């Protein structure tokens, strides 16, 4: 009897350190963040409970409204491009062609590169006067573009860099999904007279729906946490054209020392990510389990 009990307990003992770490470093800080969002917390003083005043202040803060708009634009744009480009390249790399392993490696290398380092490199590439990109445009007879110093071009520059950095991850996910689909299904559709596009649209793509859902959800969560590239490349400028909610959390918390206000912004960011994720589950016909 004791041997059976021990066998049941041993797996939980192995999982115990992970549970303790999860509670200490994720669950408790999450609850603290919710509490701090309801307080006035100047960081060097004790927090003072003020209810929902921080959230009321957000509705009147032009910086928050600009950051919210920029974050939504960034999320929608980057997630769409990451998924579409990743799916197209995954389909191409799933074909038996010479050198496809090399191309898979090349496309995935940016994913494992340090984000700060990549941001510095792209800041040099986007430089108005000495950047490689504008040098190439000059050869084509196109005037230099002020990528990081123009309110019109700064956010597109951030999006371009972010998509380049991350679409390799989507390629790997889609390749795994494509290789899990039996090739006989598509062959049967071709034998029945369907074109390759019709076979892909009506056979492969529906079977790829769970993989697409995974890619969209994970890309959304990743995009909602954008900070490093904005901080390194533009610092939220020019003006507030690239200021995101993640950047605002940092500014409010560690530059203005308003930890309560920063916590309120982070709660809003969490709610936006949750809403987007639930919409995606519903849109792909999946039931969200609570």
pLDDT at 249: 94
Instruction: For residue 251, give its domain range.
Output: 57-283
The CB-side HSE value for 204 (13 A sphere, CA atoms) comes to 26
Q: Which SS3 state, helix, strand or coil, does residue 48 take?
A: strand
Residue 180 lies in a domain: yes
Residue 146 lies in a domain: yes
The whole-angstrom separation of Cα 174 and Cα 187 is 20
pLDDT at 175: 94
Residue 3 lies in a domain: no
C-alpha distance from residue 83 to each of 47, 86, 93 (Å): 42, 5, 15
Cβ-contact 85, 68 below 8 angstroms: no
The total of other beta-carbon atoms located within 10 Å of residue 248's CB is 28
pLDDT at 3: 56
Residue 290 lies in a domain: no
Residue 100 lies in a domain: yes
- The enclosing domain of 269 has a CATH number of 1.10.3720.10
pLDDT per residue, tens digit, the chain (290 aa), is: 555 667 778 888 888 899 999 999 989 999 999 999 999 999 788 899 999 999 999 999 999 999 999 999 999 999 999 999 999 999 999 887 787 889 889 999 999 999 999 999 999 999 998 899 999 999 999 999 999 999 999 999 999 999 999 999 999 999 999 998 888 887 788 788 888 888 888 888 889 999 999 999 999 999 999 999 999 999 998 989 999 999 999 999 999 999 999 999 999 999 999 999 999 888 876 544 44
Give long-range contacts, CB 8 A cutoff, 24+ apart: 251-260: 253/43, 257/42, 257/43, 257/44, 258/41, 258/42, 258/43, 259/36, 259/41, 259/42, 259/43, 259/47, 260/36, 260/37, 260/38, 260/39, 260/40, 260/41, 260/47, 260/50, 260/54
Residue 12 lies in a domain: no
Residue 17 lies in a domain: no
pLDDT at 97: 76
Number of domains in the chain: 1
Residue 237 lies in a domain: yes
Q: What is the pTM of this model?
A: 0.88
DSSP of 65-132? HHHHHHHHHHHHHHHHHHHHHHHHHHHHHTS--TTHHHHHHHHHHHHHS-HHHHHHHHHHHT-TTT-H
C-alpha distance from residue 88 to each of 62, 172, 205 (Å): 39, 12, 12
């Amino acid at each position: 009897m004791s041997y059976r009990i021990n066998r049941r307990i041993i797996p939980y003992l192995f999982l115990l350190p992970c549970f303790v770490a999860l509670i200490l470093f994720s669950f408790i800080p999450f609850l603290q963040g919710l509490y701090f969002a309801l307080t006035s917390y100047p960081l060097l003083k004790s927090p003072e409970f003020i209810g929902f005043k921080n959230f009321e202040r957000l509705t009147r803060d032009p910086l928050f409204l600009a950051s919210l708009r920029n974050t939504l634009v960034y999320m929608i744009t980057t997630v769409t491009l990451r998924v579409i480009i990743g799916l197209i390249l995954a389909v191409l790399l799933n074909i038996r062609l010479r050198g496809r392993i090399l191309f898979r490696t090349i496309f995935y290398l940016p994913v494992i590169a340090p984000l700060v380092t990549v941001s510095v490199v792209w800041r040099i590439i986007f430089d108005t006067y000495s950047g490689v990109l504008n040098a190439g445009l000059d050869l084509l007879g196109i005037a230099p573009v002020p990528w990081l110093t123009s309110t019109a071009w700064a956010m597109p520059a951030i999006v371009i860099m972010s998509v380049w950095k991350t679409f390799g991850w989507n390629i790997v996910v889609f390749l795994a999904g494509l290789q899990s689909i039996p090739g006989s299904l598509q062959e049967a559709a071709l034998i029945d007279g369907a074109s390759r596009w019709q076979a892909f649209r009506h056979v492969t793509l529906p079977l790829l729906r769970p993989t697409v859902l995974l890619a969209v959800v994970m890309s959304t969560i990743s995009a909602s946490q954008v900070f490093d590239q904005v901080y390194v490349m533009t610092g939220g400028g020019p003006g507030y054209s690239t200021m995101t909610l993640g950047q605002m959390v940092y500014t409010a918390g560690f530059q203005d020392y308003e930890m309560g206000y920063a916590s309120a912004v982070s709660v809003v960011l969490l709610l936006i990510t949750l809403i987007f994720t639930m919409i995606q589950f519903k849109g792909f016909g999946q039931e969200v389990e609570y």
